[in-house]
Structure 1
Amino acid sequence: MQHFLLSSKARSISLKAVFTMGEDKAYKTFCDMRWPENDGEAVCPRCGCVEVYGIATRRKFKCVACHHQFSVTSGTIFASRKMSFTDLLAAIVIFVNGAKGIAALQLSRDLDCQYKTAFVLTHKLREAMRREMAGRQLDGIVEIDGAYFGGYSKPENRKEDRKDRRLKANLTGKRQCVVIMRERGGKSLPFIVRNEGDAVPFVRDHVGTLTTIMADEGTGWDALHAGWDTRRINHSVAFSDEGACTNQAESYFSRLRRMEVGTHHHIAGPYLNAYAGEASWREDNRRTDNGAQAGMVAMAAMGSRVSRQWKGYWQRAG
């Protein structure tokens, strides 16, 4: 039987379809996503009035009630965008098509835009993805595991000068732990902590009390036995034992590692949380066709408020 990702059902949208639809249809698509409850007809974001008229020469609207002028992207994560709607839609399709993520440099070449534009755009899309995880609760059987990222220290040239980089005394202090909590057959939720055991308070907030938790033999998970039915697996002996395993959590880390090694090369530091959330979203929706994925990301972006982290990012940095 053919794998879903290799079948035609997994390919429901293409760049060819995006670029042949034209700017007007791409614009209408964003209107439909911004105001789905009003069949794509504009609604004033300030007072909620549905009586607006269009300023066709500028692709803007003006509210009859409060006279507020706005566009389809006003107040969203795409506010103040300069890219055409066709390029914006194409960027979303390119972004979701990358099974292990898409590098900002590659996106800038594909769309013929500045690297800065592609970098900020991809991070805005990751921020929109995280909205889906806000307040998420996990139940049933939940696998939990942690993996460490960042804190790389380059070895010395001469052998006699090299230090054992596994020892705590020789670590840079920049290493962070990504903890993933993942329902079997359901959704996942990542967190960034200093050490594995520091994630236990997050488990209390986001995992139901009747949940069965699967974890490895790491000492940080010993506290889980006090609140949940917890089963442990010793990976030095076996990867699975009578249903106890963390294979789904390991699958998540496999994707995140390939994103780090093969695509982004550096995902640690202040941006690790964004990449961890992206990997979680991709794992949760890996059996969804790319057209539906593009729609989900676009809808999330149009439903998000202006990004406080990424608005004016390069102006502040400069």
Structure 2
Amino acid sequence: MAQHFLLSKAAKTLSLAQVFRMSDEKAEEVFAQIRWTETKGAPVCPHCGGVDAYSARRANGALRFRCRACAKDFTLTSGTLFASHKLPLRMYLAAIAIFCNEVKGKSALAISRDLGVSYKACFVILHKIREAMAAELKGRVIGGEGKVAEVDGGYFGGYVKPANLSENRRDRRFAKNQNGKRQCVVIIRERNGNSLPAVFKAESHAAAFIKARVAKGTTLNADEAGSWNSLDKHFEMARINHEEAYSLDDACTNWAESYFSRLRRAEIGHHHHVAGTYLLRYAQEASWREDNRRVSNGDQVNRIIGLALSRKPSVDFAGYWQRHKTAA
């Protein structure tokens, strides 16, 4: 019997113990090497692009660089997702390592206990990590000539608690008995390839998204739901009736179901609630994890840091702590 990848030595190239044994300077070096690969970790001014900068640490030990060309100060995270960070970079490295080691997700509450950091700080850090992951999915097109992809939908959120007395209970499958908060995650997944999720009010609203994000020549597999009938005009389709079989004549949606299995286990086992405003972020996280399930944890950490340092400050979470001021 073949060994599962997660049990192999190749899967474990970075341990949390290694991170905690690092000094703050070593963690800073890791971030510098990833951000400024072309200069082998030497600082590059984000203001003018100058490569002649020197260290000008503050009295509290915070690392700063000063550019000799424009005389402006900058840090390892200036102009990135992690800009204006308050915690040492070693804590960010530890948070990312913990996040990657949990293959089905990690809650902000659990990380706050692991690192001794406030829940709110961990909530923001994890959503910035998810935003970095989502950068890889932006503009992605699935499939191509001769390739096979699968589409499927799963509903999340909008739970309606049944009434105590049986005579007061209503059939929650009908729209009139729902609360309007239920949303559908639709996944497009290429076999032996990448995936792409999106969130809609209903599965039937996803047709235009699928047409735009699936390349011509792709064979699409879907179940017998009427939501996918309009795709017949644009793609060669293979349909599977799940009342008869899960896989028949090479038609199945098992790859898509594998994605939903990961997302459901993250919801049930870690987050307990992934609906509403942040549902797409959790869906994108599950997609990234599924696509990179055969990548070592060390490489995953490096890729997330690289994605975060190549992104501009978050639209949703820059100034998150001061949001109550803007709302006033």
TM-score range, shorter chain: over 0.9
Equivalent residue number for residue 82 of structure 2: 78
Secondary structure at the counterpart of residue 22 of structure 2: helix
Q: Give deviations 1:131-181, integer Å, cap 9, x for gaps.
A: 001111111211000011011111112222111111121011111000000
- The 5 Å alignment of 1:87-126 reads 87-126=91-130
Structure 1: which 5+ runs fail to align? none
Structure 2: which 5+ runs fail to align? none
Q: Of 226, 231, 240, which residue of structure 1 is paired with 2:238?
A: 231
- Structure 1 position 146 matched with structure 2 position 153: yes
CA contact (8 A) 2:130 2:284 kept: yes
Q: Give deviations 1:237-278, integer Å, cap 9, x for gaps.
A: 111111110000000001111111110001000000000000
TM-score by length of 1: 0.98
| Segment of structure 1 superposing worse, 61-70 or 109-118 | 61-70
Q: Of 105, 126, 129, which residue of structure 1 is paired with 2:133?
A: 129
* Letter of the 1:186 counterpart: G
- Structure 1 position 33 matched with structure 2 position 34: yes
> Separation in 2 of the partners of 1:224 and 1:164?
31
- Structure 1 position 198 matched with structure 2 position 205: yes
Equivalent residue number for residue 20 of structure 2: 19
- The 5 Å alignment of 1:1-318 reads 1-57=2-58, 58-139=62-143, 140-317=147-324
1:289 Cα deviation (Å)? 1.0
CA contact (8 A) 2:154 2:186 kept: yes
> Separation in 2 of the partners of 1:247 and 1:232?
12
Moved over 3 A (4+): none
Aligned identity (percent) is 51
> Separation in 2 of the partners of 1:164 and 1:126?
36
Pairs aligned (count): 318
* Letter of the 1:61 counterpart: F
CA contact (8 A) 2:221 2:253 kept: yes
- The change in CA–CA distance for 1:115 and 1:178 in structure 2 (over 3 A counts) is same
| Segment of structure 1 superposing worse, 142-151 or 200-209 | 200-209
1:100 Cα deviation (Å)? 1.3
CA contact (8 A) 2:211 2:231 kept: no
Secondary structure at the counterpart of residue 89 of structure 1: helix
* Letter of the 1:101 counterpart: G
TM-score by length of 2: 0.95
Cα-Cα RMSD:
1.1
Q: Give deviations 1:199-250, integer Å, cap 9, x for gaps.
A: 1111121111111111111101001110111111111111111111000000
> Separation in 2 of the partners of 1:315 and 1:266?
25
> Separation in 2 of the partners of 1:245 and 1:157?
40
